[in-house]
Amino acid sequence: MRERRQVSNDKVDELIVFLTPYLRSLLERVEADEFTTTQFIEVMHLDPQSELAYQQAITEWGENPDNARMVIHGQVIPAAMRATGMVEWIGFAHEEDDPWAVPAWWRLKVD
Q: What is the pLDDT of residue 8?
A: 55
Q: What is the pLDDT of residue 110?
A: 86
Give the model confidence (pLDDT) of 80-99 as tens digits. 999 999 999 999 999 999 99
The residue ranges of every structural domain in the chain are 9-108
Contact between residue 80 and residue 20 where contact means Cβ atoms under 8 Å apart: yes
Structure confidence at residue 3 as a pLDDT band (50, 70, 90) = very low
- H-helix or E-strand containing 37? helix 37-46
Nearest to 108 by CA among 50, 28, 47, 41: 28
Q: Is residue 4 scored above 60 in pLDDT?
A: no
Give the model confidence (pLDDT) of 23-73 as tens digits. 999 999 999 999 999 999 999 999 999 999 999 999 999 999 999 999 999
74-95 b/e (C-beta count within 10 Å ≥ 16 → b): bebbbbbbbbbebbeeeeebee
Distance separating alpha carbons of residues 4 and 18, to the nearest angstrom: 24
